[in-house]
Amino acid sequence: MRFSEKVALVTGAGSGIGQATSVRLADEGAIVVGSDINSAGLEKTAGLIGEGAVFHPVVSDVRSREACRELVSSAVADHGRLDVLCNIAGVARGHRVGDVDQETWDLIFGVNVDGVFWMSQAALPHLELSEGCIVNMASNAGLMGQAYTVPYCASKGAVVQMTKAMAMETMKTGVRVNAIAPGGVETNLATSFGFPSEPDMELMGRYMGMRGMSQAEDIASAVAYLASDEGRRIHGAVLSIDAGLTAG
């Protein structure tokens, strides 16, 4: 029960890593406020929460600064504090550079970058009071170039640098800011990714990996570690969980 009496806010809680993280933190004693734009997904997450654990679903869109501020404010008003923010909501699309339209670019950056920043901005004053932490979800795509995923790579690279910059700005506080960079994970995001027709497999081969894909629970366990007191000396780190994909 590493999170007993602590309040955690998890975005993207309706599926994948966000869902697994919500279940993990709730099962370890946290009061979890889980947000997503998908109400049906949040209902499914609520059904996975163990007996006696606490999960409060909230439908919200992290692309909106005002929605992020309202989400954080309501969580603090309802539960008196905020200890953990997990910025997990994310979207991914595969396109050739010339086929990326404005709507796709804005969607990817709106969720993957704007959402992380607006949530963190709203949460930081409360996390300073509790000496809490932020765990951002980056990607191996933020650490290496990948064909057909330029907007996604750019967005996750932004998350990596945002994590490090926030870690520097909060260095004299008790807040910790870290990120996880998974490789392939068996989630809806991965299965619905979609590559353009007739991709060049030679270009893609170097980031396919040799050890298969992770499960969402593998990543959730790392989120829980970074967010717990066991990770108290980890600040400004980007933890790769990619089965060696970015090792060389």
- The reported pLDDT for the residue numbered 191 is 65
Closest CA to 11 of 134, 191, 158: 134
CB-side neighbour CA atoms (13 Å) of 98: 0
**Mean pLDDT, residues 116-143:** 97
Lowest mean pLDDT across 97-106, 117-126, 210-219? 210-219
Q: Which of 148, 152, 207, 225 is catalytic?
A: 152
- Cα 88 from Cα 90, distance rounded (Å): 6
Q: How confident is the model at residue 38 (pLDDT cuts 50, 70, 90)?
A: very high
- The reported pLDDT for the residue numbered 213 is 81
Whole-prediction pTM value? 0.93
- Cα 134 from Cα 105, distance rounded (Å): 25
Reply yes or no on whether 225 is catalytic.
no
Closest CA to 179 of 156, 160, 157: 160
C-alpha pair distances (Å), 65 with each of 72, 97, 191: 11, 28, 29
Average per-residue pLDDT for the chain: 94
